[in-house]
Amino acid sequence: MPSSKRSATKSSPYEKQLRELTFFLDRNLGSRRVAEAMRQAGAHVEVHADHFPQDGSDEEWLAACGKRGWIAITLDYRIRYRAGERDALKENKVKAFLVAKAGEMGGETLARLLVEKLPKLVALATQTPAPFAFRITPSGTISKLTLKRL
C-alpha cells in the first residue's frame, strides 16, 4: 500500500550551493535593484552600504570579502590593475566577478544579466580555487582574468 506521506522535495546540487554562498555587491552596483533581483533568484546578497562607509577603500571591502568568504561582484573592471586593490584581492584570497563595460547597461539590464548567469557564477565560485577574478561582459561571456603584476 502506498504511503500517504508526501516525500519531501530535495534540493538540487545548484540550490544547495547557492544557499551556501554569499554574494557581495560593491557600491558601484547600487544597493537595491541588482540585490533584489539576485535575492529573488535565491541568492544571499550583502551590499556595500550595509557594511562600509561610502568613501571606504576598495582594499577594506576586498579584505572583508576574503575573510568572510563572500563572492565579490563589482563594476570596477580596472580593480585588477591597481596594485593595492590587486594585492588585496590576491592576499585575501577573494573570489571576484568584474563586470566589463557596465556603462553600456542600465540597472535592470545588469540585474537580468547577473540573474541569468547566476548558475555559472555559482559553479565557478564553488569549483575555482581562490583567489580569482572573472570578467562578465554585457553579452554574458565569462572569462578568467590573470592577477599578475603588470
Mean pLDDT of 80-84: 89
Among left, alpha and beta (phi > 0; psi -120 to 50; other), residue 93 is: left
Band of residue 149 on the pLDDT scale cut at 50, 70, 90: low
CATH architecture for residues 13-144: 3-Layer(aba) Sandwich (3.40)
**Nearest to residue 125, comparing CAs of 37, 29, 30, 44?**
44
Rounded Cα distance, 28 and 36, in Å: 15
In tens, the pLDDT along 97-127 reads 999 987 778 889 999 999 999 999 999 999 9
Give residue 5's pLDDT: 46
Band of residue 9 on the pLDDT scale cut at 50, 70, 90: low
> Has residue 72 got a pLDDT over 50?
yes
**Residue ranges of the domains in the chain?**
13-144
Rounded Cα distance, 66 and 62, in Å: 6
Q: Are 37 and 112 a contacting pair, CB within 8 Å?
A: yes
The three cell numbers of residue 85 are: 586593490
